[in-house]
Amino acid sequence: MKKSGNYSGIDCFRMIAALLIVAIHTSPLLSFNETADFILTRIIGRVAVPFFFMTSGFFLISRYSCNNEKLKTFIKKTAVIYGIAIVIYIPINIYKGYFSMDNLLLNIIKDIIFDGTFYHLWYLPASIIGAALAWYMVRRLGYSKALIISALLYIVGLFGDSYFGIAEQIEVLKQFYSLIFQVSDYTRNGIFFAPIFFVLGGMIADTNVKRSLSINGMAFAGTFALMVVEAMTLHTFNVQRHDSMYIFLPVCMFFLFHLLLYWKERRFALIRMAALIVYIIHPMMIVIVHFLAKFLGDIIVENSLINYLIVCLLSVLFSIVATIFINKFTTSRNSIKKKWCFETERAWIELNLDNLAYNVNALQKVMAEKSTLMAVVKTQAYGHGAFQIATFLNQMGVKAFAVATIDEGIQLRRYGICGEILILGYTNPNRAKELKKYDLMQTLIDFKYAKALNRQKIAVKAHIKIDTGMNRLGVSFDNINEVKMIFSMKYIKVCGIYTHLCCADTLLPEDVEFSENQIDNFYYLIDKLKERGIQIPKVHIQSSYGLLNYPQLVCDYVRVGIALYGVLSKPDENTRVKIDLRPVLSLKARVVLIRSVSKQDTVSYGRRFQAKRDSLIAIVSIGYGDGFPRDLSCQKGGVLIRGQYAPIVGRICMDQLAVDITEIEDVSVGNVATLIGFDTMDIAAPDIAQHFNSISNELLCRMGARLPIIIK
């Protein structure tokens, strides 16, 4: 699930949740009916804090991550808010005699870490601790194990909360919880309570489980009803020490959160900030209302509903004013930052992930029904960014990947990629431990290599590469005994067997004949192995062109590389299967300088370009150091500026190039130059590659060494 969407349901429920928390602390129905107030504040109201935790987890926790910066930013922001809130409530703490308690220092430390220095502030340290625990569990263990561990922590907390009446009947448990309560007044904290909701939020964001609105609605209604029955039963028998944790609360919240995701309109940034301020400031408003009662009459505090409404009104009004002020301040700062970024931004890769999803679906329609797409993401996903491409594909449901090196495979695992990862190239046998640790499948490039890997005495998964005529990597197809011996090696688990078609990209008769001969050679080996009683593992032959020109093949995998990214190697290539592929990558840079050049003046190194007229030259901040080919110098290539073609003049430099914009009106510094992509007209990667006698595969793989990647 993409987290960049609009989630109006989440935003609006933030304010509802904040007002429910006000209700918990004011008991609005207590003047009328104690049971009704219990249901509102101790059952309905208990969804509020878990919702906030799940929302944070939804936007923060992910098994797909390059680094810990998001977590560090979240902790830093929450800590700052917590610090401000602590300072705000110091006067009330002084008034209530907080600082006169025994063992003051130890109690302050305990409160700062677990309980909060004011009764409602426990949520902020719980957010910090819960986020950190959930983050590292998900990153290191995946969602299933993280959910199990966080659920076990929740169960421990449960018996120190709503089910404490049972736990205190067992002496061992009673002693255990007494130790916990010396450190934290409640098990409703960042260790036992928060992690499960952070994990659930992240899990919902990272998975594509889709249920109908009616199914989610019925599931929520059912689990909420069970939670009401559970809470009322515990309350009736006086089992609860506290009433924040119920067995059905996490399940109920899971379905509630899914319901909120159905409402996807524009986001409400002001509500997000205002809800947080209501949460923090409402106890102060409770104090103010009690003070005002001296002048306005006791009814505003004695009538619980009126008291609640006034506290809500004051809290919301204060939050609106504060939000407007904060928004103006941050908008001013952000505008300065954006302006600075605009002025200094030089070049970037832009990805259209909707096109990537379209290509995946289009390719899968062509594949045989039993075939699985194996996404080839080697060389930074052909220059597109391995992290951005692989994580998106994994979220789409792609579970098989191919890379060139073990380090590329390890990087995918560290990104959180799950499923099969096949290393297509050589790995030093000494790294067998890493192959096993990261659950990678190694290509066996020949019989001697297989023996060397087996000698490491470490169980590894592998695919056997079969050389059927390319004469690069692989065991020769006619070395049947060698292949058979590999299957019998003790420490090699053969999970697949494959070959590579070396001229599948052409339909010239002699090349078609050669490819068909390769296919026959491969299946000849497969048949001979079957005759010798070998259980054949998963097989694969087709790459991108193997699929497009030999779609009749029925294999377990199809290794799709260049076609996945929406282009073919050369322009206007003839293939048996025609697919309307959509390019994923655009390459863009800024115009950073415009200069007038007189007739006969030269531009760039070597004076290879001489102006034949008075000209306007734009300097664009990209060069061969960014992967753009130097061979496109001197009008062999060009860029699009304001939807018009501007030829490259002079030699391309390491960090910039020059284009002639004499015929283009209103070009200014800061304009975007499109080097690959569409801007009224199209500059396609295969066309550019052809200009310097190469293929789009090479051109794209040049990209990304230092260019930032932006998701469109």
| Annotation marks residue 378 as catalytic | yes
The C-alpha atoms of residue 651 and residue 633 are separated, in whole angstroms, by 5
d(CA 44, CA 243): 11
Token pair listed for 129:
């601790």
Report the greatest alpha carbon distance in the chain.
99
Burial class (CB in 10 A: 0-12, 13-18, 19+), 96: exposed
3-state SS, one letter per residue, for 403-422: ECCHHHHHHHHHHCCCCEEE
Tell me how far apart the alpha carbons of residues 383 and 379 are, in angstroms, rounded to a whole number: 6
Instruction: With CA atoms as reference, report the closest residue to 156 among 117, 137, 135, 184.
Output: 184
d(CA 702, CA 107): 59
Measure the CA–CA gap between 58 and 72, rounded to whole angstroms: 16
| CA-CA-CA-CA torsion sign (639, 641, 643, 644) | negative
H or E element that contains 465: strand 460-467
Q: Are strands 460-467 and 475-476 parallel, antiparallel or unpaired?
A: parallel
Comparing C-alpha atoms, which of 65, 80, 51, 79 is closest to residue 198?
51
Q: How far is CA 138 from CA 143, 250, 415, in A?
A: 5, 17, 11
Q: Which of 378, 461, 465, 588 is catalytic?
A: 378
3-state SS assignment for residue 460: strand
- Distances from the Cα of 428 to the Cαs of 110, 404, 406, in angstroms? 52, 13, 9
* 490 belongs to the catalytic site: no
Q: How far apart are CA 203 and CA 53, in angstroms?
A: 13
Beta bridge partners of 633: none
Nearest 5°: the CA angle 464, 470, 475 is 30
Cα 281 to Cα 603: distance, rounded to the nearest angstrom:
64
Residue 387: which of 38, 66, 43 has the closest Cα?
66
Long-range contact pairs involving 230-235 (C-beta distance under 8 Å, separation at least 24): 231/39, 231/42, 231/43, 231/162, 232/39, 232/43, 234/162, 234/163, 234/165, 235/38, 235/42
On whether the CB atoms of residues 550 and 519 are closer than 8 A, the answer is yes
Neighbouring CB atoms inside 10 A of 461's CB total: 18
Q: At what angle do helices 69-88 and 48-60 cross, to 10 degrees?
A: 150
Q: Are 245 and 157 spatial neighbours (Cβ–Cβ below 8 Å)?
A: yes
Q: Which is catalytic among the residues 2, 119, 605, 712?
A: 605
Residues acting as catalytic residues: 378, 605
